[in-house]
Amino acid sequence: MYNEITSNKRRSVILILIFMAVITAIGYFISYYYNDSSLVIFAFIISLGMALFGYYQGDKVALSTTGAHEIQKQDNPYVYRMVENLCITAGTPCPKVYIINDPAMNAFATGRDPQHASIALTTGIIEKLTNEELEGVIAHELSHIRNYDIRLMTLVIVLVGTISIIANMFFRGFGRRSSDDNKSGGGILAIIGLVLIILSPIIANLIKLAVSRRREYLADASGALLTRYPEGLAKALEKIATENQPLQRASDATAHLFIASPFAEKKHSLKNLFSTHPPIADRIAKLRNMGK
């Protein structure tokens, strides 16, 4: 676990550096085309600002996107006490607790560290799971918090989204510019912009796959060790897979945060190969092997 925490902290720094390098590189192409070196500095400032925003405010973006609202103990004592009890067992600070008014069964955790973390649960998952099953889900999300998965996965939302937006602006801007004048570099830079806009969604999915799939297996195992009852989480995942109900406010930007895909999964679909989550059947099998 300690090795994973160290690795996640290191990968968060690497992700920020890659993001800043890409934005600065785009700024370089723009400055070259317009012959204005100040644009490179401007791009660097934007990349630094968005990196800091992602670090400190990325969790708020995730919670707002999903329509989650914070609750206190008196609002839902059952859920709040369950989170508190598991935090005492894990020896971690209690995160803020949020509820998403949605009949679908799902949950996620977000934040930058255990001291600044939040856990969100849908009304569907609270109503439809038994006590032991819901404990398994919450323990899974607390494991993401303990392992610092939340920092890496939250940063992805803002940083990857920013790269996609800037790549799109870059392509559009140079497309108009090259039609206004006939500079020799305009066509090349427009092609670069086209390549960026095509590759951005692919890169985004690859990053999400890299930070999500392996971490789901690890959080399953860590959560099962926390509750000492792997079958609770296994049954919860079974119910989620059987119902297969999408979230009303599902988003590609935040999909990798959830315990299961917020979209309705079709069996044997090619799209499943690019899902941010490993197959639920495999996760259930691994959990049940833990109990043997």
**Active site (catalytic) residues:** 141
HSE, side-chain direction, 13 A CA sphere, residue 178:
18
Q: Would you state the structure tokens that stand for residue 57, as one six-digit string?
A: 């405010």
Phi/psi-derived region of residue 268, left when phi > 0, alpha when psi is between -120 and 50, beta in every other case? left
What CA–CA distance (Å, rounded) separates 211 from 266?
23
Residue type, 192: I
Alpha helices in the chain (DSSP H): 2-34, 38-66, 77-90, 123-128, 131-146, 149-180, 184-227, 230-243, 280-290
CA distance 64 to 156: 16
User: Helix crossing, 2-34 with 184-227: angle to 10°?
Assistant: 170
At position 252, the amino acid (one-letter code) is D
Q: Are 134 and 236 in contact (CB under 8 A)?
A: yes
